[in-house]
Amino acid sequence: MSRRVYQLVFFIAVLSFTALFAKEVKGGIMLFPHIDKVAHFGIFFILAGLLAHAIKAPIWVYILVLASYGGIVEIMQHNLPHRQASVADFIADTLGALSYFVASYCWHKYVKKDA
């Protein structure tokens, strides 16, 4: 895919995930405790991959952009009556983004080298 397509997909993903983060969470069946942290981690892993393909920048820029977005999401949730901010969510966001770049590095260094 071209950078333009990745930029569009990243933009749509950010809008969709922002709406999801703002949505009221109904009391439902939880598969395990802290499943929301896993969701935050996974979402930011995906966003990191999309952003890395959407724009060319140093890794620290991607991390800064995504950590800032994670912080903004937590501020937004703090200001919503049906949500609450969580430092643990912010940490999961940042670790999800960082993990994408660690996985990408390992993939390119060890797996793609053999192919």
Distance CA 115, CA 111 (A): 7
User: Which of the four pLDDT bands, split at 50, 70 and 90, describes residue 103?
Assistant: very high
Distance CA 62, CA 74 (A): 18
Residue carrying the six token digits 């724009």: 55
pTM: 0.88
Distance CA 81, CA 24 (A): 9
Distance CA 82, CA 97 (A): 26
CB–CB of 51/66 below 8 Å? yes
Give residue-wise pLDDT tens across range 59-92: 999 999 999 999 999 999 999 988 888 999 999 9
Cα atoms in the 13 Å half-sphere on the side-chain side of 78: 11
Give residue-wise pLDDT tens across range 7-23: 999 999 999 999 988 88
- The maximal CA–CA distance of the chain, rounded, in angstroms, is 52
For 110, the token pair is 């060890």
